[in-house]
A = this chain, B = another copy of it.
Amino acid sequence: MSNSIEIPFSTTLMVRDTCLCLHVQRAARALARLFDDALRPAGLTNGQFSLMMSLNRPEPPPMGPVAALLAMDQTTLTAALKPLQRKGWVKVMENPRDRRGRLLSLTPDGKAVLAKALPIWECTHAMIDGKLPEGGAARLREDLQALS
């Protein structure tokens, strides 16, 4: 009975070629692998690099805004912090002004790891930047931001 419901192959090709979600997921996986490989000598993944970089602030931020900045679920952030805490790179402390909340900060070791990773990021980013046409990077960022 289910046999009567068939999507034409041409429709499949159209969806594959046009689906923005698929295109973004694909690029996300490819870029993640690229940066993970490059950052491996520094002991960081691309996500850990982005997270730790976002914690490099004058004042330790609470979790909510950090999760929003990274556009990730709050529970994902909780999980992502675990290995970084174990390695002693990130400190999670209770917020004295609001005991429900936590304040996130880099330890000196964490800052050292981040400093070691920064030139790797610069090099890798310059490389992929070169793969885009003139002004493509800025344009791409705008388009992606419109989808977040």
Query: Which of B20, B114, B121, B125 is in CB contact (< 8 Å) with A140?
Result: B20
Main secondary structure of the interface of A (DSSP, over half): helix
How far, in angstroms, from A146 to B109 measured CA to CA in the complex?
36
Give this chain's copy count: 2
- Structural contact, A6 and B147, CB atoms closer than 8 A: no
The 9 closest A-B pairs by CB, nearest first: A28-B28, A2-B108, A26-B71, A2-B112, A5-B115, A27-B144, A12-B56, A140-B143, A30-B148
CB-defined A-B contacts under 8 Å, sample of 16:
A7-B115, A12-B54, A12-B57, A15-B121, A16-B53, A16-B54, A16-B69, A20-B137, A21-B50, A21-B125, A25-B70, A27-B71, A30-B147, A30-B148, A132-B143, A139-B143
